[in-house]
Structure 1
Amino acid sequence: MHPSSRTIIDLYERHAEAFDADRGRSLFEQSWLDQFRGVAGLGASVLDLGCGSGDPIARYFIAKGHRVTGVDSAPSLIGLCAERFPGHDWIVSDMRRLDLGVRFGGILAWNSFFHLSPNDQRAMFAVFRQHAKAGTALMFTSGPSAGEAIGSYRGEDLYHASLDPAVYEALLDANGFKVLSYVAEDATCGGHTVWLARFQEA
C-alpha cells in the first residue's frame, strides 16, 4: 500500500482553505444527487461521509429540505460547514470508526470513500449498514476497476483506491443493499464512477 494512504487526513486539514476555494460550485453531480434524493425520499435525513466544506453538495441537500449530518476527519473543513450551515450537525470523525447510533434516509460518500485503502473500503460496508434503515439510499464513488491510483494535490501525493466492481456488488449484497444504478466513468458526471443502492432490510 502506498505511503500516501496514511496522510489523507493531514493533507486535507493542512489545505482546507485551498480545497474549499478550489472546489467547483457548478454541481455537475446534480443528476446523481437527484436520483439519490428520489430513493431516499423527500425530506430524508442525509449522512454525508467526507463532507468536506459542505459546499456545494451539502448546501444542495439543505436547500432541498434535507437535514444533513456531515462527517469529516479534517476539523478545519467541519468548521467551515458549521459556519455556513449552523442548523445542521457537523462531526469531526474518521468514517471508518463511525458509530452514531442513528439511522438515516440517505448515506453519501462522494469523492471520499475512494481515499480509503482496499481493506478499509471492505470494512465500510458494515458502517453503511449500521446507519441504514429499510429503504435508505446509499451512493458512493469508486474507481472503475481494482487498484491504487496516486493523484496530486498542491504538489503532494493524493491516494485513491478501488475494489473490483464484482467485489463491490458482493459487499453490497452481503450487507443488505440492492444496486439500483452503476455507471463506470460517467461522461455526464466528470468521469466519475458512481454506485447507487437501496438498503432492503429493516
Structure 2
Amino acid sequence: MDKHAAKNILSLYQRHADAFARQRSRTLVEKSWLDKFITAIGGEGHILDIGCGNGQPIAGYFIQLGFQLTGIDGATAMLDRARARFPAQRWLALDMRKLALGETFAGLIAWDSFFHLTQRDQQKMFPIFARHSHPGSALMFTSGPGKGIAMGQFEGEPLFHASLAPEEYRALLDAHGFDVIDMVPEDPHCSGHTVWLAARR
C-alpha cells in the first residue's frame, strides 16, 4: 500500500487539482517562514519553487513582492492553474527527482512537496538542491518531525508522506554544502509544520 501510494502522488494531484484548489487555504500561515527565507536570500533574486502546485498562496506571495519565480510541478493540471494566474513567471512540468535546469537560484523552496517522496528519493534530492544553488543561496523545505512514513488521505485516496530523521537531514545538508539557519519541529505557529531553513556555504 505504501509503495503504491508513493508512486501515485503525481497522478493523485493531477486528478484532484480542482479539489485541491478549492481546499488549499489562502491564509498565509507560512508567512513568518517565507519572510525568514526572503531575508536569507537578501531580499531579491530568482526563486525556484519545487512542487509549486497551483502557485497559491506561496508562489503568489513571492511574486507579489516582486520576485522572479520558476515553479516546477509534476501534475500539469496544477501547473496550468499557476500559469493562467501568473503568466509572466516560468512554470515547468517536471518531476523534482529529474530536476536538471543547468542554472542556480537565490532561493529554493520545497514546501509540502518534498515530503511526498520516499526516504530514498529524499536522500537523492540533496545533490539536486546543491546543483541548483550557489554560495549564499537559501533552501527551505518541510519534513516530518522524525524518521518514518505517515499516510494521510485526500479525496478518499491514500496520501503518502515520509521523513528521514532530523540528524540525517542535518548530515545531508552539511555534506552538500548547506548550513542550517533554523529548524523548528512541528512549529505551533505554522499549523504544526516541521520546517528547515539552510544556506549554501
TM-score in same-fold range (> 0.5): yes
The number of aligned residues is: 200
Question: In 2, Cα distance between the equivalents of 1:136 and 1:95?
Answer: 18
Matched, 1:39 2:40: yes
Question: In 2, Cα distance between the equivalents of 1:152 and 1:195?
Answer: 24
Question: In 1, Cα distance between the equivalents of 2:188 and 2:8?
Answer: 30
Aligned to 1:159: 160
| Deviation string, structure 1 residues 70-93 (Cα, Å, up to 9, x no partner) | 000000111111100010000000
Aligned to 2:139: 138
Structure 1 residue 2, shift from structure 2 partner? 3.2
Question: In 2, Cα distance between the equivalents of 1:15 and 1:40?
Answer: 34
Matches within 5 A, 1:13-24: 13-24=14-25
Aligned to 1:75: 76
Aligned to 1:184: 185
What code does the residue aligned with 2:148 have?
Answer: G
Q: Is the 8 A contact 1:40 1:106 kept in 2?
A: yes
Question: In 1, Cα distance between the equivalents of 2:78 and 2:42?
Answer: 27
Question: In 1, Cα distance between the equivalents of 2:61 and 2:116?
Answer: 23
Matched, 1:148 2:149: yes
SS at match of 1:99: coil
SS at match of 1:129: helix
Q: Is the 8 A contact 1:43 1:64 kept in 2?
A: no
Structure 1 residue 37, shift from structure 2 partner? 0.3
What code does the residue aligned with 2:5 have?
Answer: S
Which portions of structure 1, spanning 4 or more consecutive aligned residues, are displaced by more than 3 angstroms?
none
Structure 1 residue 130, shift from structure 2 partner? 0.5
| Deviation string, structure 1 residues 149-198 (Cα, Å, up to 9, x no partner) | 00000000000000000000000000000000000000000000000000
Q: Could you list the runs of 5+ residues in structure 2 that have no partner in the other structure?
A: none
Question: In 2, Cα distance between the equivalents of 1:56 and 1:160?
Answer: 21
SS at match of 2:5: helix
What code does the residue aligned with 2:135 have?
Answer: A
Question: In 1, Cα distance between the equivalents of 2:39 and 2:65?
Answer: 12
What code does the residue aligned with 1:185 have?
Answer: E
TM superposition score normalised by structure 1: 0.98
Structure 1 residue 41, shift from structure 2 partner? 1.8
Q: Is the 8 A contact 1:16 1:76 kept in 2?
A: yes
Matches within 5 A, 1:188-199: 188-199=189-200
Q: Is the 8 A contact 1:104 1:131 kept in 2?
A: yes
Matched, 1:61 2:99: no
Question: In 2, Cα distance between the equivalents of 1:131 and 1:10?
Answer: 26
Structure 1 residue 43, shift from structure 2 partner? 2.1
| Deviation string, structure 1 residues 122-166 (Cα, Å, up to 9, x no partner) | 000011000001100000000000000000000000000000000
Q: CA RMSD in A?
A: 0.6
Question: In 2, Cα distance between the equivalents of 1:130 and 1:21?
Answer: 35
Question: In 2, Cα distance between the equivalents of 1:93 and 1:41?
Answer: 27
Aligned to 2:10: 9
Question: In 1, Cα distance between the equivalents of 2:28 and 2:164?
Answer: 26
